[in-house]
Amino acid sequence: MTTWTTRRQLLKGAGVLAAAAAAAPILSACQPTTTSKSGSGKVVVMTDPNEFNDDDRKTLEDATKLKIEIVASDLTRLYAMFAAGNPPDVFRVQAAGVPQYISRKMVKNLQPYFANSKLLKPDDLAPANNFYKWDGKVVGKGDLYGMVKDWSPDYTLFAYTKAFDDAGVKVPSDSTPLTYDELRALANKVNRKTAGKRVYWGFVHSNNDQWIDRTAMNMLAEKGQTLYAADFSKLNISGNPEALKVIRYLYDLAADGVQQTPTDPSPNWMGADFNNGQVAMLQYGYWFSAMAESDITKGKTVFLPAPTWSGVRRDPTMTATGWVVSAQTKDPDAAWAVFEQYMGGKPALDRAKSGWGVPGLKSLYKEMPQQSAFQQQVQKVLQGELSNADFVLQFNPYLSEQAFSTSWVKNLEPALKGSITFDKFVQNIETEINAAIVDGKRIVGN
């Protein structure tokens, strides 16, 4: 009986194998593509499929004679690929992550490649590319590790004139920048809610608080101040009166109810609310001009210069979205070829003409669209802003991109509901971020 059992056991095992074999043809329909790529002429690019479609891929493949595999941007996947020792050859990042990636030796120094490139000449690079420099001490100095796909001076405003008309308030001038204090007063005047329903948000900014640290950093920089200590070892708000003023200002905007908050949310992102005619003033860069005019907002949208915190006005990018090459790539030349074509070839020209951002190369500036009256008004303001855009933000190499904003949002909800005070709100953020800095420093052995 034992042997009988064993035989049946084997048969059963065979049955499972048969089931697997039956599944195999179905499986082969989706071919197992090997992930080893050295010498295979294949370049793996992790990017956002919404801004890099199949046509873009074909254009790049034709130009470089290389095969390109697209992996959709996903933080989990990126970490996992690094952990498996097989990161994508090229990946999409934002400025806030750059110092961290460089200081952890994850991305390749592209300076030698730029030096020899015919498409990407150092003199031609737009100022936003300085966000891809990090010398171990400050952002904006040292070798180049990547490049923006496009960029915008990001502190500019889009105003919906109907909201101002309804409130009987004059639309601000597009030649004289507002101060942030004037902006807050104005936001409270045009802000409108009737019977619990939102009519107009007065002033929305910082991509629904996800970029709140970037807003604060630029305001502080006007007064020569920084959010973090010079060596990035500490977040100091409560001990720095200027920092406290900025944080208090941003907190007051939320408490005023002129912007979307965790206690007064919108089901849409800020841009959609603007398109729906529900935002009086929206702080986004030039790129948004490509979509600012909807059926509702057409003819009623004005582009305004960045407001000032009454110091030295500056209007750099706060995203600097672009590409880097991973340090572990097995075929750096192939990765560079794809990178170079995307940044300086036909795809770059197409992007410049689309108006979805200021090109990463100055020589392409002239390609930006200027047909409609709105586009011309936008260009007029933009040209003024470009002269104030040659600055960077000092992102902390010990912190992840969203550490500060996540802590902000987490503590803002109880603060607005009244369960913690403003002082406690500040203290919680300081404690949490300073602990994260300690962790980040220890990881790189500092």
Partner 1 sequence: MEGVHRMTGAAQVLDRPVARVAPWRRRGLRRAVTFYLLISPWLIGFVLLAAIPLVMAFLMSLSNYDGLNLEYVQFVGLENYLRAFTDPDAQHALGRTLLLMAVVVPFSLALQLALALLVNQRIRFTSLFRTIFYLPYVIPVVAAAWVWKIFVDPTGGLLNALLGVAGAAVNVRWLVEYPTVVLALLTIWGAAGGGMVVFLAGLQGIPAEYREAAMIDGANRLQVTRHITLPLLSPVIFFNLVTGIIATLQILVQPMLLAPGILGLSPGTVPPRDNYLYAVHAYLEIFVKQLFGYGSALLWLLFGVVLALTLVLFKTSRRWVFYGIEP
Partner 2 sequence: MSRRRSTATDATLRYLPVLVAATAFALPLAWVVVTSLKKQSEFGSSLLPAAPQLANYQLALSLLDFMKFATNSLVLSSSYALIVVMVSALVGYGFARHRAPGRGRLFMLVLATLMVPNLVLFVPQFVIFAKLGLTNTYWPWILWALGGSPFAIFLFRQFFATFPRELDDAAEVDGAGPLRIFFQIYLPSAAPALAASAIFMFLWVWGDYLYPILLLNGDNTTLAVKMSSAYVDPRGNPLQTVTMAGVVLYVLPLIAFFAAANRFIVRGIVTTGLKG
Shortest Cβ distance from residue 359 to partner 1 (Å)? 28
**Count of residues for the chain?**
446
Query: What mask of x and - would describe binding to partner 1 in positions 16 to 45, judged by CB under 8 A?
Result: x-----------------------------
Minimum distance of partner 2 from residue 12's CB (angstroms): 6
Give burial (CB, 10 Å; 0-12/13-18/19+) of 83. Answer: exposed
For residue 377, state whether it binds partner 1 (rule: CB under 8 A): no
Comparison of 50 and 116: residue with beta carbon closer to partner 1: 50
Q: What angle do CA 438, 442, 445 make, to 5 degrees?
A: 145
263 binds partner 1 (CB under 8 A): yes
- In angstroms, give the least distance from the CB of 126 to partner 1: 27
Pick from partner 2, partner 1, none: which does 387 bind, CB < 5 to 8 A by kind?
none
Pairing of strands 67-72, 42-47: parallel
Q: Which stretch binds partner 1 (CB under 8 A): 96-104, 149-157, 312-320, 341-349?
A: 96-104
What is the helix (H) or strand (E) element at residue 142, kind and residue range?
strand 139-144
CA–CA dist 147, 79 (Å, integer):
21
Residue 70 binds what, of partner 2, partner 1, none (CB under 5 to 8 Å, by partner type)? partner 2
Nearer to partner 1, 76 or 387 (CB): 76
Among candidates 436, 381, 382, 377, which has minimal Cα distance to 406? 436
Question: If contact means CB under 5 to 8 A according to the sort of partner, which of partner 2, partner 1, none does residue 100 touch?
Answer: partner 1
Closer to partner 2 by Cβ: residue 71 or 244: 71
Cβ atoms within 10 A of the Cβ of 271, count?
18
Strand residue runs (E) in 212-339: 279-283, 301-304, 322-325
Say how many residues touch partner 1, by CB under 8 A. Answer: 48
> Smallest gap, in angstroms, from Cβ of residue 81 to partner 1?
11
Tokens representing 416?
A: 């607005």
**Least distance (Å) from partner 1 to the CB of residue 279?**
15
Shortest Å, Cβ 201 to partner 2 = 15
How far out from the chain centre does Cα 217 lie?
15
CA distances in angstroms from 188 to 32, 59, 159, 400, 422, listed in the order given = 58, 49, 14, 34, 21
Token representation of residue 142: 């040292």
- Give the residue ranges of DSSP H helices in 47-96: 54-64, 75-83
- Hey, what are 361's tokens? 């190369």
Cβ closer to partner 2: 45 or 306? 45
Beta strand residue intervals within 235-394, DSSP E? 279-283, 301-304, 322-325, 358-359
29's contact among partner 2, partner 1, none, with CB below 5 to 8 A by partner kind, is partner 2
Of 72 and 185, the one with the shorter C-beta distance to partner 2 is 72
Least separation, in Å, of the C-beta of 13 and partner 1? Answer: 8
**Calpha distance 216→250 (Å, rounded):** 8
445 binds, among partner 1, partner 2, none (CB under 5 to 8 A by kind): partner 1
Beta bridge partners, 159, equal 281, 302
Site for partner 1 in 104-143 (CB under 8 A): 104-106
The answer to whether residue 82 forms part of the interface with partner 1 (CB under 8 A) is yes
- Answer for the pair 273, 280: CB distance below 8 angstroms, yes or no: no
**Residue 424, interface with partner 1 (CB under 8 A)?**
no
Under rule CB under 8 A, residue 403 binds partner 1: yes
Q: How far apart are CA 151 and CA 128, in angstroms?
A: 7
Nearest to 290 by CA among 233, 227, 370, 390: 370
Give the footprint of partner 2 on this chain (CB under 8 A): 1, 4-5, 8-9, 12, 16, 19-20, 23, 26-27, 29-36, 49-50, 69-72, 74, 76-77, 79-81, 83-84, 86, 267-269, 271-272, 275, 291, 294
Q: Which of 17, 93, 117, 118 is nearest to 323 (CA)?
A: 93
Beta bridge partners of 179: 308
User: Looking at beta carbons only, is 82 or 365 nearer to partner 1?
Assistant: 82
Figure out which of the listed residues 161, 238, 268, 363 binds partner 1, where binding follows CB under 8 A: 268
Binding residues vs partner 1 (CB under 8 A): 1-2, 5-6, 9, 16, 75-76, 79, 82-83, 85, 100-101, 104-106, 195-197, 208, 210, 260, 262-269, 400, 402-403, 405-406, 409-410, 413-414, 419, 436, 439-440, 442-445
